[in-house]
C-alpha cells in the first residue's frame, strides 16, 4: 500500500475517533453528570478515563479476532467482504432501531468503563474501524509468500490492531473531554438540554458508507 493511502486510512481512524468522542451517545454527558453530582472537578477526568478504557476494550474486542484471521491470507478478499457486509448490516439495523439497549440504562453510574464498553459494541463503533484496520494490514503482498510468513503477518496484524485502537481511542477521548470540560466549566448543564444533538441517524448512515467503500477496495 502506498504512503498516501496509508496516511489517509490513519486519518480516517483519527477522524472516526473524533466523531465518536463528540457523539453524546459515547458518554461525555455522563462525565459531566458525574462531576456535577459529586461536586468535584476531579470526577470529570476520572469519568472520561473510564469511558476511554471501556471504548478501547470494545475496539480490541472487534479487531483482535480479525487479527487472528489475517494469517488466512488466501481468504483475504473473503475476510474483507464479510467485514464490509457486517458493517453495512449494523448500519441498516441501527438506522431503523435507534433505541438504546435497556441494559445500558440499568448500569450504575459508577461503572462507566463497563457502560462505555457495552455502548461502543451496541453502536457498532468497533465495526466502523474494521475496514480501516484491514486496509492498514496490507495483506495483498503476502499472498505469494506462503504459510512461512503467517506467524510474522499475524503478529504484525495484532500490533496494527493495538495501534488502531489506541490512536482511535485517544482521538475519541480528547474530543469527548473537550466537550465535557466545555459544558462543565463554560456552557453549563442547560447546554445539553437546549442544544442536544442526536447523531444516531448520521452514525448508522456512516456505517453503511464505510461498509460500501470497504467492498470496493
User: If you average pLDDT over residues 49-72, what whole number do you get?
Assistant: 82
Q: Which residues contact 162 (CB under 8 A, 6 or more apart)?
A: 60
User: What pLDDT, on a 0 to 100 scale, did the predictor assign at position 108?
Assistant: 62
Nearest residue to 51 (alpha-carbon basis) of 165, 177, 141? 177
How many structural domains does the chain have? 1
Q: Note the pLDDT of residue 145.
A: 42
- pTM for this predicted structure: 0.74
Query: 29 pLDDT band (50/70/90 cuts)?
Result: confident
The three-class DSSP label of residue 196 is: coil
Whether the pLDDT of residue 14 is over 80: the answer is yes
pLDDT tens-digit map of 159-207: 888 888 899 999 999 999 998 888 888 776 666 666 555 566 666 777 7
Are 176 and 32 contacting, i.e. CB atoms less than 8 angstroms apart? no
Give the torsion sign (CA, 99, 105, 107, 111): positive
Q: What is the pLDDT of residue 155?
A: 54
What pLDDT shows up at residue 163?
Answer: 87
The share of the chain scoring above pLDDT 90, in percent, equals 11
Residue 211 has pLDDT above 80, yes or no: no
pLDDT at 93 over 70: yes
Give the tens place of pLDDT for each residue, 100-148: 555 565 566 567 888 788 877 777 777 777 777 777 765 554 444 444 4
The pLDDT, as a whole number, for residue 152 is 45
Cβ proximity of 31 and 50 under 8 Å: no
- Per the structure, the complete domain to which residue 54 belongs is given by 3-216
Q: Are 131 and 208 in contact (CB under 8 A)?
A: no
Query: For residue 55, what pLDDT band results from cuts at 50, 70 and 90?
Result: very high
Distances (CA, A) of 197 to 30, 109, 132, 157, 201: 15, 22, 27, 36, 11
Res. 150: pLDDT tops 90: no
Amino acid at each position: 500500500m502506498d504512503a498516501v493511502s496509508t496516511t489517509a486510512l490513519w486519518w480516517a481512524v483519527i477522524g472516526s475517533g473524533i466523531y465518536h468522542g463528540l457523539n453524546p451517545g459515547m458518554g461525555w454527558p455522563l462525565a459531566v453528570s458525574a462531576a456535577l453530582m459529586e461536586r468535584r472537578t476531579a470526577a470529570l477526568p476520572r469519568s472520561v478515563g473510564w469511558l476511554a478504557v471501556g471504548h478501547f476494550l470494545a475496539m480490541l474486542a472487534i479487531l483482535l479476532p480479525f487479527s487472528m484471521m489475517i494469517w488466512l491470507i488466501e481468504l483475504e478478499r473473503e475476510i474483507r467482504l464479510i467485514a464490509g457486509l457486517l458493517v453495512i448490516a449494523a448500519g441498516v439495523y441501527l438506522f431503523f432501531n435507534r433505541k438504546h439497549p435497556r441494559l445500558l440504562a440499568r448500569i450504575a453510574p459508577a461503572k462507566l468503563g463497563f457502560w462505555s464498553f457495552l455502548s461502543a459494541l451496541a453502536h457498532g463503533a468497533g465495526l466502523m474501524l474494521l475496514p480501516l484496520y484491514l486496509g492498514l494490514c496490507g495483506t495483498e503482498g503476502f499472498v505469494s509468500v506462503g504459510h512461512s510468513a503467517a506467524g510474522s503477518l499475524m503478529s504484525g496484524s495484532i500490533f496494527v490492531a493495538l495501534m488502531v485502537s489506541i490512536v482511535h481511542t485517544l482521538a475519541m477521548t480528547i474530543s469527548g473531554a473537550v466537550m465535557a470540560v466545555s459544558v462543565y466549566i463554560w456552557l453549563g448543564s442547560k447546554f445539553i438540554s437546549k442544544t442536544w444533538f442526536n447523531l444516531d441517524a448520521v452514525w448508522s448512515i456512516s456505517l453503511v458508507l464505510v461498509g460500501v467503500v470497504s467492498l470496493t477496495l
